[in-house]
Amino acid sequence: MTSLAGVSRVALPADRIGGRQLAGLLLALASGACGLAWQFIWTQQLSNSLGHEIVAVLAVLGAFFGGLAIGAWALRRVIERSARPALWYGGLELLIAGWGLGLSLLLPVLTPGLGQLIGAEPSAWRHWGLAFFLPLLLLLPVTAAMGATLPALERCWRGAGSSLLSALYSANTLGAVLGTLGVVFVAIPQLGLQATALACAALNLLCGLSALALNRGQRMAVAPAAAAAPASAGGVAAAEISRRHLLLLLAGSGLLGIGYEVLAVRVLSQVTENTVYSYALLLAVYLLGTAAGAAWHQQARGRLDAGQAGLARLLGWLVLATLAGGLSLWAADRIVLLPARWFGPGAAAALAGEALAAAFSMGPPTWVMGIVFAQLCHLARANQMTLGGALAVNTAAAALAPWLIGVGLIPLLGARGALLLIAAGYLALMPGLWRRGSGFWLPLVLLVLLAALTPPLRFVDLPPGGRVLSYRDGVMAAVSVVEDGRGVARLHINNRVQEGSSASGAIERRLALLPLQLHPKPQRALFLGLGTGFTVQVAARDPGLQVDGVELLPEVIEAAPLFARAQNGQSSGSSALERVHAVAADARRYVLAAPQRYDVVIADLFHPARSGAGALYTREHFAAVRDRLAPGGLFCQWLALHQMDVETLRSIVAAYLAVFPDGKAVLASNSLDTPVLGLVASPGRPRFELDALRARLAPPQPELRQLLSSAGLEDEFGLLGSALAGSQSLQRFAQGAAVNSDDRPFVTHRAPWATYAPASTPRQRLHELISSWSVEPGEWLQPADPVFEQRLQRYWDVRRRYLELGLATAPDPDPVVMLDRLQQPLLGLLRDSPEFRPATDPLRALAAAIRPRDPGRADELLRQLERLQPQRPDAAIRR
């Protein structure tokens, strides 16, 4: 029954509350908590099938708001005229409990069908239409019931000498706050979606039965709305505000109020961690602000001017508060860091910083929003409008805000322009604009000054000597390309640097080539996530391979040519990228709906803490990928160990193995600070055939052979040497871990804590893995030459010792000191496994560094390397 528009505007009564009234407030509290909990549950379930594109996100939100408005409007008169409103309220709560629980059980079953119904690459009309009408139809009975519960509850407790309207708003909004925080921080992480839905249904059921028991046998006199709210209820002079103007004020306040929330969340997402907890905190601050403002209104309404002039002054305050909150957004990047500076780093300080930034930006305007809506609520009653009618108008307009502000104004005008237009919208709502004493002129002057003096409202961290190559305020995120002083370009999404750059090299090539070389003859490959486009265009250089790429943000696809030109020059970079069929779509929905099958599917490094990314690591998504593989196909899921803790990794591995029990792990690079792991599996082909791998590593095209060499994949040791764990080792590692799933989104709720306050370093996590994981040739290869298997086993053992050496060696700026520490250990590794070429990289680099000081030692070191690796040319090894 709670929306972000009308239902959240509240006030506390000045009248003394008795036991029966307190029971009504508790019902409103519980009902409000359930309303937000249901919204979180359904939104998460629907996004798994409809996608995380802005189309689907806004469609689900619009369907939810639309249902609330329909219910409040359709039942406004029948509830107002009912002599037994408790029966209505009880019945509505029972409907919410039954339909809500049934829908939460049904949606996971419908997920594949809904995704396929929309299609992999639908037209805009098909996508918009189905993404809106499918949720609207599925949710309509329950959201309509939610929209009518508050008017029914207010009607039940009306009378007894005082109205509980403001108090019920207050309790309902407090419940919404508790529901928001409780479901995100406690219920879903501990219980999962289905168990949380069951708890919500039980609470709705309890609310309905309690209302029926409390009002058993009670009949209320049937009276028109005006009788309950005389023409000057609470001192409000209704005659001064026409019904048409009142409807405009109700609609305008809903539209602009939610519009400001959309704007603030979009801007703050550039300075917060943008986790599920970030969104919960922002929403809680918004609800608390409106509640506090309306509570103040209840206490002070007797002192407020109730006519047009008083309402105009309130709207003037709202313009000033909006400008004040908006001004704080320019300092949000500094505000969010204050708690960490005061109390030290940690999860609590990080969350406090996000809440503080939200309080500065949303506190002042939402406080006045609550005051204004409380005034409008009394005006509506005085103008013989039902509470349901007022809520319907306000909520219906609020449903348009994400479309008009988020989709329309922010991409068109930028965040600064949208902020100014919202403030101007509030100013335009003022009755008697030009009248003296209306409070119009001061807000207008400040609005003009803000427009003239403020810079664009955006955050882009520039390195020394850096510049912005491109910037776009997209519908879902701000996307920029930033070049540093060395000419290296990097992709920023919401001011966060993404993996890869225009200087991307061997590691990024391996992310594409390593899984592709494990397949005997791939003809079609799918990349989930494009980023800078470097990895996908490496794959596209194979003329026999058709490459499809899926990227959620269209602005990222549009930025890819900048990196292609920087990496490969105007002609070659563009031609490789042009061979990629890039699709702007949600990866989960695309995998569900794509009609074609793929020989290789490669999933990018999705940061697990970011909102929505956890759904790409679930058992259900991995199963959908398996179904999209052609016979003998291979799936590789890349994982950035520096972005997750070990428990998050265990949950992802458990989900992967639940679908691919023969899954194995590879190490993309030997980096100690940014280690990248890969989970690989080929259903029906648990082990690889050595001759087929050798054939893949010797393509007839010279360009492809050179490309493989630049990625350190010259031979079978470069390829199979990346193996880090077999399926048995992974099974032991994941034993007892929570399987990340759609119902138990463990990663979504666990990964942010490792981002806010990591308990270990990437080096420590890597050491834990290499100490506990093991790999055997028999798990990777079909029976092969025993001599080769022994050499491969030695390679893996040496790789483990190489990593342990790096972890144990303290760095020193003096290359002579580093050579003294590393020369003999690394030469010893090469004696044990001459094929282990990574050990030569630091030795060659150190030889070059000491040559000006000790050329004899440098030459002797190079001769030793040549004796140990006679087949290796004396050139820099690109690995």
pLDDT tens across 350-401, in order?
A: 999 999 999 999 999 999 998 888 788 778 877 888 878 888 999 899 988 8
CA 668 to chain centre: 26
Q: Are 172 and 31 in contact (CB under 8 A)?
A: yes
Residue 755 has pLDDT above 60, yes or no: yes
Average pLDDT, stretch 469-498? 84
Most confident of 375-384, 627-636, 778-787: 627-636
Pair 669, 630: CB distance under 8 Å: no
Tell me the mean pLDDT in the region 268-276. 90
pLDDT given for residue 360 in this prediction: 96
- The verdict on whether 604 is a catalytic residue reads yes
Coil, strand or helix: which one is 596? Answer: coil
DSSP 8-state secondary structure symbol assigned to residue 740: P
- Looking at per-residue pLDDT, the higher value among 47 and 599 belongs to 599
What global pTM score does this model have? Answer: 0.90
Q: How far is CA 137 from CA 60, 129, 388, 459, 755, in A?
A: 11, 12, 21, 40, 38
pLDDT at position 686 over 90? no
Active-site hit among 473, 586, 604, 645: 604
pLDDT surpassing 50 at residue 156: yes
Show the DSSP H helices in 330-440 as ranges: 332-335, 338-343, 347-382, 387-401, 410-428
Residue with tokens 């690394």: 826
pLDDT at 219: 59
% of the chain beyond a pLDDT of 90: 41
Assign 566 a pLDDT band (cuts: 50, 70, 90). Answer: low
Amino acid 159: pLDDT: 56
Is 639 in a helix, a strand, or coil?
strand
Residue 3's pLDDT band, with cuts at 50, 70 and 90, is: very low
DSSP 808-862: HPPP-S-HHHHHHHHHHHHHHHHHH-TT-GGGHHHHHHHHHHHTTT-HHHHHHHH
